[in-house]
Amino acid sequence: MRKKVALIGLGAWGKNLLREFYKRSDVVAVCTTGNSANRDWLSENYPDIVHVTNVNKILADDSVEAVVIASPIDTHYKFANLSLKAGKHVFIEKPVSNNINNTHSLFKLSADKKLVFFPGYIYNFNPVLQYIQKNINKKEILCMLFEWDKHGTFNEDLTWNLLVHELYIIYKIFGQVGDIEIIGSFGCVTKCDVLSLRVNIGDCSILIHINRVSNIKHKKVSFRTKDEMLIWDHNSIYKYSKKLMAYKLIWETSEQPLAIEVEEFIKRVNSNNIDCDIIDAVTKVETVVHNINRIIYKI
């Protein structure tokens, strides 16, 4: 049965979420601040969806069973809190909140209300990460290198917008985030647009480098194990061949993580499965980012 869903926020990622939810549910309304470009885009691409600027119109609509939150990060807690109190299931784009106390509060509220609360950490549903978890022994990983180059966006802190992804991947592989050292950071458009970290987990050394003022767009993760060198690039895994002196494709997928993620949320709402199996991962990752921010932004 198709659920009636409403979306809050229609930025770049909000549009992606709308596309996937529209395929799998009845999206009846989208709430934005009234940006004319977004309003025109919605009218042109989804003329059957109602546009509202007052979130209370969504919350007061008893036919709306679930709310998808893709608004600016500093509004996540407000809209999630209101939605849960209104009896709506919630899909919330990462991070849950930029305040760790609010993150804990929302998990508790959703449990008390017996509602699905679904943090949108997309790498939790990434087939490549799942392949790595199944096929690479974490105890044999000697070092890793995370490299992420892109341009923008600059409307959110780099740490909350990008770093959370890398830390979440680390947690999923090792079951912990590890000890973190800030190697360096500097700003161009904002206070922090380039960030380098070192993470130590046992004998494994991990370097993270994120640059959002780059002239190229590329993201990859390199692994050095006891016996091999691997690279995760987009939807593919490559293994270094000493014989060929080159990397060889060993595995790839055409599955799209966002589609898998949205399908899982709809499935949980349909079955009223309120168990959130990533509470520990989310709270630990967001706690680490909160602490890093206190150093970088001196807050």
Q: What is the pLDDT of residues 99-120, one digit of tens each?
A: 999 999 999 999 999 999 999 9
Does residue 278 fall inside a structural domain? no
Does residue 227 fall inside a structural domain? yes
Burial class (CB in 10 A: 0-12, 13-18, 19+), 142: exposed
pLDDT of residue 56: 97
Together in a domain, 41 and 83: yes
Domain boundary pick from 98, 120, 142: 120
pLDDT of residue 62: 96
Distance CA 232, CA 221 (A): 5
pLDDT of residue 27: 98
Count Cβ atoms below 10 Å from residue 299 Cβ, excluding itself: 8
Q: Which residues of the chain have pLDDT under 50?
A: none
Q: Measure the CA angle with vertex 3, ends 113 and 257; round to 5°.
A: 90
pLDDT of residue 299: 56
pLDDT of residue 207: 98
Together in a domain, 134 and 181: yes
Distance CA 212, CA 195 (A): 9
Together in a domain, 140 and 249: yes
Q: How far is CA 47 from CA 39, 40, 70, in A?
A: 10, 10, 20
Together in a domain, 106 and 132: no
- pTM here is 0.96
The domain containing residue 96 runs over which residues? 4-120
Q: In 3D, which of 265, 240, 258 has the Cα closest to residue 250?
A: 240
For residue 231, give the CATH number of its domain: 3.30.360.10
pLDDT of residue 286: 97
Alpha-helical (H) ranges within the chain are: 12-24, 36-45, 55-59, 76-85, 100-113, 127-135, 158, 164-174, 257-271, 279-296
Count: domains in the chain: 2
Does residue 265 fall inside a structural domain? no
- Helix (H) or strand (E) segment spanning residue 222: strand 213-225
Does residue 214 fall inside a structural domain? yes
Together in a domain, 133 and 79: no
Domain boundary pick from 68, 94, 120: 120
The alpha carbons of the chain give a radius of gyration, in whole angstroms, of 20
My answer on whether omega of the bond before 72 falls inside 30° of 0, hence cis, is no
User: What is the β-pairing status of strands 141-151 and 179-186?
Assistant: unpaired
Together in a domain, 152 and 246: yes
